[in-house]
Amino acid sequence: MMGVRRRPSTCQRNRETGPRPYYWARLVFFAAAILPAGPGIAFACRCTEPEPRQAYRMAESVVYGKVVSAKKEDDGADTSYVLEVAESWKQPVESQITVHTGTTCAYEATVGEKYVLFLKRSNQSIYETAMCMGNRPEAKSRGLLKFLRATKPQR
């Protein structure tokens, strides 16, 4: 056993030589990634978009139409869209409706574009929608529109 020198453990080396290179950089990076940045941080909505049949069952009304205007509410988290309705399913709706969306799961729409929206009613005149309800822009709704048109439209 003479002549064989054991290598010091990591703890012994760190006590003797200090922390390994980049230790502080890694520590700062991970701390910044874990700690919240403060008030006003937005957390992403996490969900799985439902299949068309499930989205249809969960919605009170389903509409296909064009967004004609959008208005951000005071806090900036909520948006109201005015929609010109071309087709509707499940419940009859007016030819032009206002749809509210907000919070972390707000559904973003673009004025001038067409969408299939799955809606809930918060009261008699207010429709609401959000991400995770099955909503789709026209460009991605070919199969969904085929499914909906196979059911009896309200208008």
Q: What is the dihedral of CA 126, 129, 134, 138, to 10 degrees?
A: 80
For the segment 18-43, the average pLDDT, to the nearest whole number, is 52
Mean pLDDT of the chain: 80
Inform me whether the pLDDT recorded for 84 exceeds 60.
Answer: yes
Flag the least confident range among 23-27, 31-35, 78-82, 132-136.
31-35
Inform me whether the pLDDT recorded for 110 exceeds 50.
Answer: yes
* Domain range annotation of the chain: 52-150
Domain 52-150, CATH: 2.40.50.120
Residue 40 confidence class, pLDDT cut points 50, 70, 90? very low
- Cα–Cα distance between 101 and 77 in angstroms, integer? 9
